[in-house]
Amino acid sequence: MSTRFNRSKAVGLMLLSGSASVMAADPAVLDSVVIQGEHKDKARTVEVQSTAAAITSLSGAKLEEQGISSVRDLANIVPNLAQPRTAVANLNSSFYIRGIGEPDAQGEPSVAVYFDDLYWPKNLGANQELLDVERIEVFRGPQGQAFGHSSLAGVLRLSSTVPDETRRLRTLLSYGNYQDVKLGLATSGPVAENIFGSLAATVHKRDGVTPNVTVGRDTNDIDYAAVRGKLRFKIDPSLEATVSASGVRDRSTARGVQNLAYGDQKAHNQVFPEQSYDSHALSLTVNYKIDANLRLKLLAGNTHFEQNGFFDNTGDFYGRNSQLVTYRDDTWQGELQLQGSYDRVEFTTGLYAYKEAWYTNRRANTAANATSDPAAIRYRPVYTVIDQDTLNHAVYGELKLKVSEALKLTAGLRYNREEHTQSNQLYNLVATAPFQSNASNFLAVINAEPQALVWDARGNKRWNTGSPKVSADYQWSSKLLQYLTYSEGSKSAGYDYRAQAANGKLQAELPFNPEIARNLETGLKADWFGGILRTNVAAFYTRFDDIQLTTTDPTQTPAITRRFNAGQGSTRGLEFEGHWLALDGLQIDFSGAFLKARLDRFDGAAATVTVIPASSINPNGLLLRSGPFAGADLPNAPKVQGRLAATWRLPLSHTGVWLINGNVNYQAKSFTDTTNNPTTLLPAQTYLNGSITYIPNGSPWSVTLAGQNLANKRYALTEGFTPRTTPTIDGTALYRTTNYNDPRAITLALKYEI
């Protein structure tokens, strides 16, 4: 048995390295070292199995093996990481770790996302396709004592290939149903003496999967292109610098919402949901080895994106509550980090500076009544401009003390100072009172020049926060680690980014405070039976105060709807992941989570209840709350998640190797908001995926047949129900909106790799 395991483990670790022989190796096993690239960037090194934290590490090879081709595909593969499988645009996403997340793509993410150490400021554009990603790491729980930007719930870090002395070339061509075509190229290696470069590019197009029967075109298509390049300069043995640039162009349509009140699963809006998204990221990273114990790292970078789109929020033929929006964001980031490693002491300390300029221009076609009579439909169209600037300065540090061979103690602290400035103006799009349009002219009005200024709101405020961390871990043996950690994290304060009502000046002027998470966690990391089986288990309790919600604030007169600190929440649960080398060539991966996440205290206005009579749509009627309540489940926090995957390497003696993978993902039902209305209840979801790869002996070519959602399950996601109120509430739906996950996808891919 020992001989069998050693051979399997060796090739499994080779697979994780992302080498050219990746597809010919045995199935991957989680390696112990997480490191950004192969260039020994000690400033970002993490020993997964000996670190007192819940961490999931996925190499590029492992991602490919499991059919993970975009950030959204990470749902369920990481314990307690939840993502909605639809969004208003192809590249938009939301991340929830342990039930904590930001539902609005305009808000600061509760889960911090880093692309090659650059913090990405919004969930807009976060659903990137995985070009030349060498590794993805997910850190669960509050972070900030060893990262540049503070994070309330956790960190998702993507690291791309770092060029070195080895020449590599990789090409991909795939084709699938719905005319799904993807082209990819990645190359890296030396370009001159002590200079190394890499270039990766991909183009992905797919037809729409949801027909819009009004305009005769399909929505929910993909039209995506991305490129990334790096130059790494090895100046001397102790000093190197890397310049990186990347760009994304996306012209996929905005999500085509289905209004089930029409009795089908198709889109009906008479305005086609066009969308455009462009972004770039530039960075300079300098690593300097001061001596055998000290390393210094400097990071400076800029990110920019702009998104323009017609966003359909209700699936209504008449375009009510649809919006024409421009989003634009620029950040400038700098980080100086010093890391030291001595016999009994290790430390990381850093300075962080961050500046963000956020701009929104929105034309909102807000409904002014709730009737199904076209002649009686009225809109209150407005034009809003929002400029919000953020300055963030922080100092952070973490010290690890080796008390004995088995016991380590860790202490960390972050001090954060932030300043937010905002300017928000609202204009009418109709010149005269009552400033309304109707169903016959709304298209002209929504594109009209802005008219009279309704209000102008401005504000500026500063906040200071501190986030401590203490931890103890005990190495019971070389293969068994136990830890206990208390940590805190924060989510920035700011100003409301959705103030667009005629009476919304106060909503725009009043700031909200930071949200604070306090986490107590214990975990056990173990290798069993000589390393054939690995299990990592964590149990946690997180309380977060000053939770940021958009709801009715009763402290204002009159009461207004705004984003403010509306109470206290908590999450608690258990999560695990494991890897079992069952036989020669066969690996079983499994993970799961149990979670209870709720709103413990609610400081907003008490919810009113509307009784919806029974109807053909809702035979038993409905009780709908107008807002959150204490005891409500938090959104996108399924109580149970699970995943089981098997990868089998089957060698053929004279011709080649078959690599067969299958996995099943399960997610229990959950709500999409804290009203916990039955119309916001997502169904339990199960997805079956698989792939078969053939690699001829001694050939750089391979071919893969892969399938996602093989059972072709279609789930109604992000549901909503708005009753008709004119002339009466009779159970008829004005909007009964939803989105569906993508249908079954089958692709055939041809790859060349040297």
Q: Among residues 85, 76, 82, which one has the least CA distance to residue 111?
A: 82
Quote the pLDDT of residue 45.
53
pLDDT (average), residues 63-82 = 88
Q: Which two tokens stand for residue 708?
A: 């996602």
Q: What is the pLDDT of residues 686-710, one digit of tens each?
A: 999 999 999 999 899 999 999 999 9
Q: Among residues 230, 274, 224, which one has the least CA distance to residue 254?
A: 274
Q: How far is it between the farthest Cα atoms of the chain?
A: 84
Lowest-pLDDT choice from 31-35, 421-425, 440-444: 31-35
Neighbours of 547 (CB within 10 A): 26
Quote the pLDDT of residue 718.
77
The Cα 186–Cα 753 span in angstroms is 9
The Cα 130–Cα 31 span in angstroms is 20
The one-letter amino acid code at 68 reads I
The one-letter amino acid code at 28 reads A
Using 50, 70 and 90 to split pLDDT, how confident is the model at 8? very low
Q: What is the pLDDT of residues 279-296, one digit of tens each?
A: 999 999 999 999 999 999
Lowest-pLDDT choice from 23-37, 238-252, 450-464, 664-678: 23-37
Quote the pLDDT of residue 46.
66
Instruction: Say yes or no to pLDDT of 312 above 80.
Output: yes
Q: Among residues 516, 399, 506, which one has the least CA distance to residue 464?
A: 516
Q: Among residues 246, 19, 36, 61, which one has the least CA distance to residue 162?
A: 36
Q: What is the pLDDT of residues 582-641, one digit of tens each?
A: 988 999 999 999 999 999 999 999 999 999 998 887 888 889 999 999 999 999 999 999
* 399: β partners: 347, 411
Q: Among residues 221, 256, 95, 261, which one has the least CA distance to residue 739?
A: 256
- The number of helix segments (H) and strand segments (E) in the chain equals 4, 46
β-strand 154-160 against 111-115: which pairing, if any?
A: parallel
Quote the pLDDT of residue 255.
85
Lowest-pLDDT choice from 7-21, 416-430, 701-715, 738-752: 7-21
Neighbours of 557 (CB within 10 A): 7
Neighbours of 614 (CB within 10 A): 12
Q: Among residues 174, 184, 200, which one has the least CA distance to residue 116?
A: 200
Percent of the chain at pLDDT > 90 equals: 72
